[in-house]
Amino acid sequence: MQKNNRWKWLILLCLWAGYAQAFETHSTVVQISTIQALLKGVYDGEMSFGQLKTLGDFGFGTFNGLDGEMAAFDGQFYQVKSDGTVHLVPDTLKTPYAAVHFFQTDKTVVLNAPIQSYPHFQNALDPHLPSRNRPYALKVTGTFDYLKTRSVSKQRKPYPPTVAVVAHQSIFEFENITGTAVGYWFPDYMDKLAVPGYHLHFISEDKQHGGHVLNCRLSKATIAIDFIDSVKLLIPQDAAFQGADFSTYSRKELDKVVKDND
């Protein structure tokens, strides 16, 4: 009898382990480093994209040296360089900052009313997020009447802070462009770890254009939303991160880096 009970417990533990793994895979964002570290100029990481691709099929980030913007969806990872070109990401490249997970749609929203700006888009989507205190993954597909994106060029050491880098960012403006914008909405209480609110990176349908979304206008879009239950932070062990001073933080500086300042 005891032997049978032991086997029952072993089966239950195996079932729970499988459930827990599935739960983490589809509801957990894995984040490499923090947005605060990026603001401080910590631009080199040890995580290769070959490793990152095992942690998710969807997300965003950047590359060592801040060499452009990264967007991932449907298992494909893209690099938007400062000249506007889009490339598939080889496994050998590394990232200092990224957030990924395995995307699974929990809710679909169709916006039919004309959207006049990126803040207008955010206000239209806000009512469809059940709580302001959990993260969400967002996959936006549609044709944008107008889209403004940016990318940045690869930096050289000693690395400047990101706010200085974006002063020389490359701006791209498009009309009637079809594609997919992917990213996350994070709560305000996570503002030292991730960009609070909406943060999206775009890739065009023909895979020729993209970048960090700054502004947009559109008439119709479909938004797939994945409710996120947890965030797993992987803390870099390199000397640059471990030796950085994170005692000061400026939300205004973060806004200058991620928002349209025109």
24-258 adopts what CATH topology?
60s Ribosomal Protein L30; Chain: A; (3.30.1330)
| 151: nearest Cα among 163, 169, 175 | 169
Q: CA 199, CA 126: separation in Å to the nearest integer?
A: 14
Task: Tell me the pLDDT of the chain (262 aa) as tens digits.
Answer: 444 444 443 444 444 444 444 445 679 999 999 999 999 999 999 999 999 999 999 999 999 999 999 999 999 999 999 999 999 999 999 999 999 999 999 999 999 999 999 999 999 999 999 999 999 999 999 999 999 999 999 999 999 999 999 999 999 999 999 999 999 999 999 999 999 999 999 999 999 999 999 999 999 999 999 999 999 999 999 999 999 999 999 999 999 999 998 8
Q: CA 86, CA 105: separation in Å to the nearest integer?
A: 26
Q: Where are the alpha helices (DSSP H) in the chain?
A: 2-27, 35-39, 49-52, 118-125, 162-165, 239-242, 251-258
Q: CA 195, CA 78: separation in Å to the nearest integer?
A: 20
Domain boundaries, the chain: 24-258
Handedness of CA 223, 144, 80, 238 (dihedral sign): negative
Give the pair of three-digit tokens for residue 188.
């305000």
